[in-house]
Amino acid sequence: MLQDIIKIFFPYSLVAEVKPFGNGHINNTYKVDLQGEKESYILQQINTDVFKDPQGIADTYSRLQDVIFKAKQPITIAKLIPTSDGKNIYIDDKDGAWRMTSFIDNSYTIDVVEEDWQAFEAGRAFGWFAKACDKLDANTFKESIKDFHRLSFRLRQLNEAIEADKAGRLESVQDVVDFYKKREASLSAIENLVDEGKIPLRVVHNDTKINNLLFRGEKAAAVIDLDTVGPGILYYDYGDALRTSASTAEEDEKDLSKVHFNIESFRAFTNGYLGKVKTIVEEQEENLFYQAPILMTYIMGIRFLADYLNGDVYYKTAHKEHNIDRSRVQLRLIESMENQVEQMKEIISDALNAVVIE
Ligand code: ADP
Ligand code: GN1
Ligand code: MG
């Protein structure tokens, strides 16, 4: 079956090996090696329950490539490999959607930051990506998942999950529900700014988890997982990246005493990110960077919680507590961020006043 799909892209090659690859929660990812070829490839089956318009995603990817590959860049994205008849995605007869890209060689991903340079590089890479996308007009792109980072939408989904309690798990996680419910009203500032058109809508990544970045040696080499690229704001990418880039633990750590928001990683990431984007940051965008990590960690926390209550229908899970473990880690991170808000504000202000990174 996979062999047949690979033939659509490489009709004249024989497959040497194809094996599952990576730690993504959404798509099915395989590393492909062809006989007699040094280069490897990444084949992905796009999760069409999540991404309803795979052709739209592929078209966005093509447009992004056109901008990014134009000039020599310090960081890259994987190159889309077309089908033998020139299409940027293959839709099979059961509506499965398949995409081939180049494999970024000699690279690795990080799940937990252990040294400051890793957080700095993550900031520099996602900042580079935001700047590269600055040439694109956000109004000509569509969200690949509607209302993806809209807090009110995510809260509505959580409320529906609580109401239905489909998996009968509500009672056992009432403490987690209470934690998130208590903060519901305090996090609407960023959504209001977006709705009032007070900060610029840009083309952003929208899924800047640290393992959506490939490192080579001690440098960030490529930004990957571009399925969610589309309209958004800088705060989404900055905040979501810090959720993992400044956490001292895995996203699904069971021992919550290990989970902290590390202010030194925060500083390193912020210096890398703002050092890159500050030439495009507008004055009205400067004020709420400090709220972004809390908001984005909150959104991921309630999405994991809702999925747990719904019986694990969205994210890939390895065991039955997986989604609630993830939600509890986000909860711990939020508490840790709340205790360090004043330092976060100072670090952001210093970074916005420091030199630009080229
Ligand atoms: P998901 O949407 O499921 O998270 P990703 O696009 O992030 O899928 O891919 C899953 C994992 O596969 C990544 O975290 C990374 O380890 C690996 N990967 C994806 N694309 C490449 C690539 N072009 N080169 C090398 N590794 C890759
Ligand atoms: C998913 O695709 P992946 O694993 O990089 C999710 C993100 C969440 C993340 C949490 C399309 O990212 O929004 O932040 O899991 N992507 C989608 O780990 O829902
Ligand atoms: Mg991913």
> Along the 358 residues of the chain, how does pLDDT read in single tens digits?
899 999 999 999 999 999 999 989 999 999 999 999 999 999 999 999 999 999 999 999 999 999 999 988 889 999 999 999 999 999 999 999 999 999 999 999 999 999 999 999 999 999 999 999 999 999 999 999 999 999 999 999 999 999 999 999 999 999 999 999 999 999 999 999 999 999 999 999 999 999 999 999 999 999 999 999 999 999 999 999 999 999 999 999 999 999 999 999 999 999 999 999 999 999 999 999 999 999 999 999 999 999 999 999 999 999 999 999 999 999 999 999 999 999 999 999 999 998 777 7
Q: Is 251 in the pocket of ligand 2 (CB under 6 A)?
A: yes
Q: For position 207, what pLDDT does the model report?
A: 98
Is the distance from the beta carbon of residue 162 to the nearest atom of ligand 2 less than 6 Å?
no
Residues around the ion ligand 3 (C-beta < 5 A): 24, 212, 225
Q: Which residue type occupies 356?
A: V
Integer-rounded Cα Rg, in Å, for the chain is 20
In a domain, 31, yes or no: yes
The verdict on residue 82 lying in a domain is yes
Per-residue confidence (pLDDT) for residue 266, from 0 to 100: 98
Which of 52, 76, 102 corresponds to the end of one domain? 102
Question: Would 311 be classed as within a structural domain?
Answer: yes
Structure tokens at 345: 């504000």
Gap from CA of 179 to ligand 2 centroid (Å): 22
- 24 in contact with ligand 1, CB cutoff 6 A: yes
Total structural domains in the chain?
2
- Please report the pLDDT score of residue 139 as a whole number: 97
Asked if residue 154 has its Cβ within 6 Å of ligand 2, the reply is: no
Give residue 23's pLDDT.
Answer: 87
Q: How far is the CA of 291 from the centre of ligand 3 (A)?
A: 24
Nearest protein Cα to ligand 2, atom 5: 24
| Ligand 3: centre distance to CA 196 (Å) | 31
- The pLDDT of residue 1: 87
107 within domain boundaries: no
Whichever domain contains 55, its CATH number is 3.30.200.20
The verdict on the CB of residue 230 being under 6 Å from ligand 2 is no
Question: Which residue minimizes the CA distance to atom 11 of ligand 1?
Answer: 22
Spacing, Cα 75 to ligand 2 middle (Å) = 22
Pair 86, 122 in one domain: no
Q: How far is the CA of 104 from the centre of ligand 3 (A)?
A: 14
Same domain, 344 and 237: yes
| In a shared domain, residues 198 and 85 | no
pLDDT digits (tens, 9 = 90+) for 335-345: 999 999 999 99
Q: Look at residue 355 in the predicted model and tell me its pLDDT.
A: 72
Q: What's the gap in Å between 116 CA and the centre of ligand 2?
A: 24
Query: Is beta strand 202-204 parallel, antiparallel or unpaired with respect to 40-46?
Result: unpaired
- The per-residue pLDDT for range 49-92, each reduced to its tens digit, is 999 999 999 999 999 999 999 988 889 999 999 999 999 999 99
Answer yes or no: is the C-beta of 47 below 6 A from any ligand 1 atom: no
Same domain, 126 and 177: yes
C-beta of 207 in contact with ligand 2 (< 6 A): yes
Whether ligand 2 lies within 6 angstroms of the CB of 209 is answered as: yes
Residue 280 domain flag: yes
Whether residue 168 is found in the same domain as residue 44:
no
Ligand nearest to the CA of 226: 1
**Per-residue model confidence (pLDDT) at position 71:** 82
Q: Which atom of ligand 2 lies nearest, measured to the CA of 316?
A: 4
Name the token pair of 332. Answer: 């711990």
Q: b vs e for 198-220, b when ≥16 Cβ sit within 10 Å of the residue's Cβ? A: ebeebbbbbbbbbbbbbbeeeeb
Whether 98 and 120 share a structural domain = no
DSSP line for 62-103: HHHHHHHTTS--SSB-PPEEPPTTS-SSEE-TTS-EEEEEE-
Residues 131 and 74 in one domain: no
pTM exceeds 0.85 for this model: yes
Q: Which domain holds residue 342?
A: 116-353
Is residue 228 within 6 Å of ligand 2 at its C-beta?
A: yes
CA–chain centroid gap for 156, Å, is: 22
Task: Let me know whether 144 and 73 are in one domain.
Answer: no
- Same domain for 39 and 91, yes or no, is yes
Q: Ligand 2: distance of its center to the CA of 24 in Å?
A: 7
Select from 102, 124, 155 the last residue of a domain. 102
